[in-house]
Structure 1
Amino acid sequence: MRAPRIAAVLLGVLMSYAGAANAAECHDISHAGQDYTVCRAAPAQDVLRLFLYDDAGKPWGSFRRLDAALHKKGQRLVFAMNAGMYHPDRSPVGHYIEGGQQIMRVIKGAGPGNFGMLPNGVLCLRKGRADVMETGHYMAVAPACTYATQSGPMLLIDGAVHPRFLPDSTSRRVRNGVGTGPDGRMAWFAISQNPVTFYEFAEMFRDALGVQQALYLDGNISRLFAPSLGRADVGLPLGPMVGVVAPVE
C-alpha cells in the first residue's frame, strides 16, 4: 500500500499549486510498483498549447528547437511531450487543430495499430479548459477547440479501463498519455519511466491521478521535456507536441 499513499501525497502537493500564477509542474510518482513522471497544467492559468509546424511550415521536430525559438521571443517551455501519432513526414495521423485552424480531419473508423483500437479520442484545448473526449462524443458535441489532437486508444472512458486492455498482458512499452477531469480545469500528462502495459498505465491515471478520461499518446517515441527535472529526452524527429509556455524568468 505504500506506493499508492506516496502517489496520493504527491498528488496533494501538485494540487496545492492551483492558486499559483503558473500552475504547471512536473513530479515523479510511483504506483503499483511502477514509476512515472507526471506533469500538470491548469488551462485557466497556464498557456497550454499544441505545436507542429514552424513559421516556415516545417515540423518543429524536437523540444530543443522549439524551446530555442520560444526563447527568442522571451518565452520558454515549462514542459512538453509528444502529442499523438504521425506519418513519416511528421504530419498527424488523426484530427489536428492548431491555433483554431484544422490541419487534419477527424478519423472515425477502426484501423490497424493502436490508433485504430476503438474507442480512440481527442484532446481538446479551449479557453480555460482541457478535455479528453472519446471520438464519437467529440464529433457529437463539436466543441470549438483552439487546439486539438486525436490519438488512441482511450485509456479510460468515464473512469472505466478500455475494454480491450488485459490485466495479464505481457506487452510492455514506455508509454505517455493525458488525462482530464470533468470540469476541464486540470490536465495531467504522464510518461512511464520504464515499460508498462496499457492496463497498468490506465490504472495509474484512474487510481493515482483520479481522472475519468485519459488518452494514450504513444509508446514507440514517448518523450518528455521537463527542465525542472533536468530532463530533455532526445530521439527521432517528433510530430505534434503539447506543452506549457511561460515567460523567461
Structure 2
Amino acid sequence: MRTSAALAFLLALTLPGLAMAACRQTEHEERAYTVCSFDPAEAELRLFLRDQTGAIIGSFSRLETLLANQGKDLIFAMNAGMYHPDRSPVGLYLEDGQPQAPAVARAGPGNFGMLPNGILCLDDDRTAVIETRRYLNRQPGCRHATQSGPMLVIDGALHPRFLPDSTSRHVRNGVGVDQAGVVHFAISARPVTFHEFGRLFRDVLDTPQALYLDGKISRLFAPGMGRADGGLPMGPIVAVVQDAPR
C-alpha cells in the first residue's frame, strides 16, 4: 500500500467506529476518488439482493430500513456487480452460502464479458478478489460471492485490453484487496477510463487483484461522509453492517 493510503487507513483504525472512519477522499493523477477500506477480520462484510419475501431490495434506503428492523446499522454500501433488467445477477451470486446464480466463464458482450473477469469472495474474516477461472478451479469457501468484470488488476498488472489513450469515460466503482488482506472499495468523482481507474488500484491502493463493479450506475452509501447516492433500483449490494447501539 502506498504511504498516503496506508496512513489514511491506519488513522481510521485509531478512531472510534472503525467502519465510520474508513472512507476518505483521495486523488491520483489529478483525478478524485472516494476510497473506503475495511479489515475483514474487524468489519462484517456481506452481500444483499432480496428481502425475506423475495423482492429485490434495490436501494440503500430500503436496505438501511430492513437492517434497522433487525437491530443492525448500515455503515457502508456500494453496488456490487452487473445485473439484468430484472435486477438479477449476470454471473455468479452467492449469499449466506446459498447459490442464486451460476458463474459465467465464457467471453461475451459488454464489460462483463471482457475476459478475464472476476469474483468478489467474502468470508467471515477474509475477502478476496479472484479471477473467474481460478475461482472455478479452486472452489474457495465463500459465504458471499458476486461476479463482475472486467478485472482491473491481475497479479499486479492492468487488464491487457485496457488502452492508455481510451476516450471511453464513465463514473466507475470497483474493489481490490491488498497484500495485508485489507479490502478497498473505490468510486470515481468524475468519469474516468478503465486504464486510469486500474492505475488507482495498482499504483495507489497497491492491490494485486482488483475487480470492476460497474459504471454509469455506480453508487456509494457512506453516512460518515454524508453520502447516500440515489437512483434507479439496483441489483446486488455489498455492505458493511454492525449491531446497532442499545
Alignment TM class, shorter chain as reference: over 0.9
Percent of pairs with identical residues: 56
Partner of 1:207: 203
User: Which residue does the alignment assign to 1:51?
Assistant: 48
Measure how far apart 1:58 and its partner are: 0.6
Unaligned runs of 5+ in 2: none
Deviation of 1:19 (Å): 6.7
Q: What residue ranges of structure 1 are gaps of 5+ in the alignment?
A: 1-6
Among 84, 108, 113, which residue is 2:81 paired with?
A: 84
Kept in 2, the 8 Å contact 1:22–1:45? The answer is no
- 1:23-71, CA deviations, whole angstroms, 9 ceiling, x for partnerless residues? 3311110001100000111111110000001000011000000001111
Preserved CA contact (<8 Å) 2:78 2:238 = yes
Check the 8 A contact 1:179/1:205 in 2, yes or no.
Answer: yes
Deviations 1:171-210 (A, max 9, x none): 0000000001245x21100000000000000000111111
Choose the corresponding residue for 2:93, options 92, 96, 105. 96
Task: Name the SS for the 2:242 alignment partner.
Answer: strand
CA contact (8 A) 1:43 1:129 kept: yes
In structure 1, which of residues 211, 214, 227 is the aligned counterpart of residue 223 of structure 2? 227
| 2:81 and 2:147 in contact (8 A); partners too | yes
Task: Give, in whole Å, the separation in 2 of the partners of 1:19 and 1:103.
Answer: 38
Give runs of aligned pairs for residues 54-133 of structure 1, distance below 5 A: 54-133=51-130
User: By how many angstroms is 1:17 displaced?
Assistant: 3.6
Aligned 1:28-43 pairs, distance under 5 A: 28-43=25-40
Equivalent of 2:175 in 172, 175, 178: 178
- C-alpha separation between the residues in 1 aligned to 2:98 and 2:80? 17
C-alpha distance in 1 between matches for 2:169 and 2:10:
30
SS of residue in 2 equivalent to 1:55: coil
In the TM superposition, residue 20 of structure 1 has moved relative to its aligned partner by 7.0
2:144 aligned residue: 147
**Superposition deviation, residue 18 in structure 1:** 4.2
Q: Tell me the residue number matched to 1:166.
A: 163
Tell me if the contact between 2:5 and 2:204 (Cα under 8 Å) persists in the aligned partners: no
In the alignment, the residues of structure 2 paired with residue 166 and residue 8 of structure 1 have an alpha-carbon distance, to the nearest angstrom, of 27
- Aligned CA RMSD, in angstroms, stands at 1.5
- Number of equivalenced pairs: 242
1:13 and 2:8 are equivalent in the alignment: yes
Q: Following the alignment from structure 1 to structure 2, what is the Cα–Cα distance between the partners of residues 220 and 178?
A: 16
Write the distance in 2 (CA, Å) between the matches of 1:31 and 1:19. Answer: 25
- Which secondary structure state, in structure 2, belongs to the residue aligned with residue 239 of structure 1? coil
2:118·2:147 contact (CA, 8 Å) conserved in 1?
Answer: yes
Poorly superposed stretches of 4+, deviation over 4 Å: 18-22
Q: Is the 8 A contact 1:62 1:238 kept in 2?
A: yes
Amino acid at match of 2:242: A
2:13 pairs with 1:23:
no
**Structure 1 residues 49, 22: CA separation in 2 closer, same or farther (over 3 Å shift)?**
farther
Q: Kindly tell me: are residues 19 and 44 of structure 1, through their superposed partners in 2, closer, same or farther at Cα, counting changes over 3 Å?
A: farther
Match of 1:190 in 2: 186
Q: Which residue of 2 aligns with 1:3?
A: none
- The alpha carbon displacement at 1:10 in A equals 4.5
